[in-house]
Amino acid sequence: MEQYIMKGGNPLAGEVTISGAKNAALGILAAAIMTDEDVVIDNLPDVRDINVLLEAIEEIGARVERIDRHTVRINAKDIHEVEVDDEYIRRIRASYYFIGALLGKYKSAQVPLPGGCNIGSRPIDLHLKGFRALGAKIEIERGAVVAHAIDLVGSHIYLDKVSVGATINIMMAASLADGLTIIENVAKEPHVVDVASFLNSMGANIKGAGTDIIRIRGVRRLHGTEYSIIPDQIEAGTFMCAAAVTRGDVTVKNVIPKHLEAISAKLLEIGCEVVELDDAVRVVGKPYQRHTNINTLPYPGFPTDMQPQMSVTLALAHGTSIVTESIFENRFKYVDELARMGSNIKVEGNVAVIDGVGCFTGASVNAPDLRAGAALVLAGLAADGYTVVDEIGYIQRGYEHFEEKLKSLGAMIERVDCDKDLQKFRLKIG
């Protein structure tokens, strides 16, 4: 099993270029099968979740041509299957985007129900509510969502909770429905806006993405397009926290600063220097960083996907911080791992009380999920001594060349897959 080994203590310094947004790319790749013409997508992040979704697209019969590591041409005219194999949903939940895409185009879809995951139960009831509102018949049969519609007809849908996935999934199906669909209480994340922009580049008629209400006038068909994915807000935020927690000086390039405002605001609150440039943000950590409070919220609030990374930063700040996780019910699993490094955090329900400590000591820890895994790496880079992070497959799902990018900033980190390599690293670093 691959692991990261690192020796902490080096303030990270230099420039890092951010890859395309994983969570935009997952919706966009699913939407790409909604036309019979060529679709070229650029700035794809080279991460496991994207590569798995491309395999699934090929499996149902689309032609997938990898032009380079970050660019793909897809043509879905020969799709012969509206049933997605269970293997794919078990490997990535976002396979559920096939429901909206296939239902929109073929008026039929059969996709396994995604299970829960390490951060919570993650139901898809709102997705199904939207599809039913558009006229689809939805059954749950043998663990799969079976969706059929004679016709999809525009409808007025109110989402009981703000949901990124439901917003994107319903938007896709409604793009090819008859008439006007209004979706209220939608998610406004940058990646939701990117999927809407992508669909509009294919000839869809979607207005209001990024606001509380999205209006979609269905069209008869969608055409091919060429599109470039936006930069990854969460990868950018992760490197911003890496600068803060190691007291470094990092310029995060190829970003949209507006997407990072909630993260920049919190780093400023704890005393970091944050400088916004046109397409970059520079973060300078300070020896004395103070406590603050975090409440994760839908965009433009503080993103839940940045909660573990910010909590690690606060665990090494002065004073007591309160972190409230309002989106998922089980997103503090990393706290027990962090305690092994000397943190002082008490979790009660969805609230973590973080008493900052002066330093962490290196330890062996397990990544419980994607973002918590990245947060534990940040902790290891700030700790005294050696840290080994196990289960790094989670991290590779969402971060492209994570250790290479960190090494380019001066981090002493290696990806290893056996004890011999662990020892070699220790001997090399000393």
In our burial notation (b when 16+ CB lie closer than 10 A, e otherwise), range 216-236 reads: bbbbeebebbebebbbbbbbb
Is the CB of 235 or the CB of 403 nearer to ligand EPZ?
A: 235
The one segment of 12-20, 159-167, 279-287, 404-412 that binds ligand EPZ by CB under 6 A: 159-167
CA distance 84 to 135: 21
DSSP annotation string for 344-359: -EEEETTEEEEE--S-
Identify the bridge partners of residue 157 per DSSP, sorted by sequence position.
183
Q: Which is nearer to ligand EPZ, 152 or 192 (CB)?
A: 192
* Closer CB to ligand EPZ, 122 or 223, in the complex: 122
**Cα(168)–Cα(126) distance, integer angstroms:** 11
Segment contacting ligand EPZ by CB under 6 A, of 161-169, 315-323, 348-356, 372-380 = 161-169
Q: Does 396 bind ligand EPZ (CB under 6 A)?
A: no
Among 155, 304, 366, 396, binds ligand EPZ (CB under 6 A): 304
Report yes or no: 389 and 380 within 8 Å, Cβ to Cβ: yes
Q: In the beta sheet, which residues pair with residue 158?
A: 184
**117 is an active site residue:** yes
Which residue is nearest to ligand EPZ, using beta carbons?
Answer: 165
12, 31, 124, 174: which one contacts ligand EPZ (CB under 6 A)? Answer: 124
- Asked whether 187 and 163 are in contact (CB, 8 A), the reply is yes
Question: Residue 318 CB, nearest distance to ligand EPZ (Å)?
Answer: 29
Angstrom distance (rounded) from CA 161 to CA 76:
32
Q: Is 311 in the site for ligand EPZ (CB under 6 A)?
A: no
Encoded one letter per residue, x for contact with ligand EPZ by CB under 6 A and - for no contact, window 126-155 reads xx----------------------------
Two tokens at 27? Answer: 């919706």
Is residue 164 near ligand EPZ by the rule CB under 6 A?
A: yes
Phi, psi for 20 (deg, rounded to 5): -65, 155
- Residue count at the site for ligand EPZ (CB under 6 A)? 24
Stretch that binds ligand EPZ, among 73-81, 156-164, 200-208, 245-253 (CB under 6 A): 156-164
Binding-site string for ligand EPZ from residue 184 to residue 203, where x marks contact by CB under 6 A and - marks none? ---x-x--------------
Report the residue number, 370 or 413, with the smaller CB distance to ligand EPZ. Answer: 370
d(CA 389, CA 265): 29
Among 307, 398, 399, 413, binds ligand EPZ (CB under 6 A): 398
**Contact assessment for residue 27 and residue 191, using Cβ atoms and an 8 Å cutoff:** yes
CA dihedral 296, 299, 302, 305 (to 10 degrees): 70
Which of 16, 21, 26, 172 binds ligand EPZ (CB under 6 A)? It is 26
CB of 105 to ligand EPZ, least distance (A): 21
Greatest Cα-to-Cα distance within the chain, rounded to the nearest angstrom: 68
Of 77-85, 122-130, 131-139, 278-286, the window that binds ligand EPZ (rule: CB under 6 A) is 122-130
- 404-423 positions binding ligand EPZ, by CB under 6 A: none
Residue 75 engages ligand EPZ in binding (rule: CB under 6 A): no
Contact 44, 50 (CB under 8 A): yes
Instruction: Please enumerate in sequence order all residues whose Cβ is within 8 A of that of 142, keeping only pairs 6 or more positions apart, or say none.
Output: none
Helix (DSSP H) and strand (DSSP E) numbers for the chain: 15, 23
Instruction: Please report, to the nearest 10 degrees, the dihedral formed by the alpha carbons of residues 106, 43, 378, 428 taken in order.
Output: 120
Smallest distance from ligand EPZ to CB 355, Å: 26
Place of tokens 């962090």: 338
- 264 binds ligand EPZ per the rule CB under 6 A: no
Q: Of 123, 124, 224, 218, which Cα lies nearest the Cα of 171?
A: 218
Q: Is 301 in the site for ligand EPZ (CB under 6 A)?
A: no
End-to-end CA distance of the chain: 24
Token duo for residue 170: 């319903």
Instruction: Tell me whether residue 248 or residue 373 sits nearer to ligand EPZ (CB atom).
Output: 373
Question: In angstroms, what is the minimal distance from the CB of 371 to ligand EPZ?
Answer: 5
Q: How far is the CB of 311 from ligand EPZ (least distance, A)?
A: 14
Rounded to whole angstroms, the Cα distance separating 241 from 418 reads 29
Interface with ligand EPZ includes 210 (CB under 6 A)?
A: no
Which pair of structure tokens corresponds to residue 177?
């429905």
Stretch that binds ligand EPZ, among 28-36, 121-129, 247-255, 407-415 (CB under 6 A): 121-129
Q: Which residue of the set 117, 241, 272, 418 is catalytic?
A: 117
The nearer residue to ligand EPZ, 5 or 306, going by C-beta atoms, is 306
Closest listed residue to residue 413, CA positions, set 362, 371, 350:
362
Binding site for ligand EPZ (CB under 6 A): 23, 26, 94, 120, 122-127, 161, 163-166, 187, 189, 304-305, 327-328, 370-371, 398
Active site residues: 117
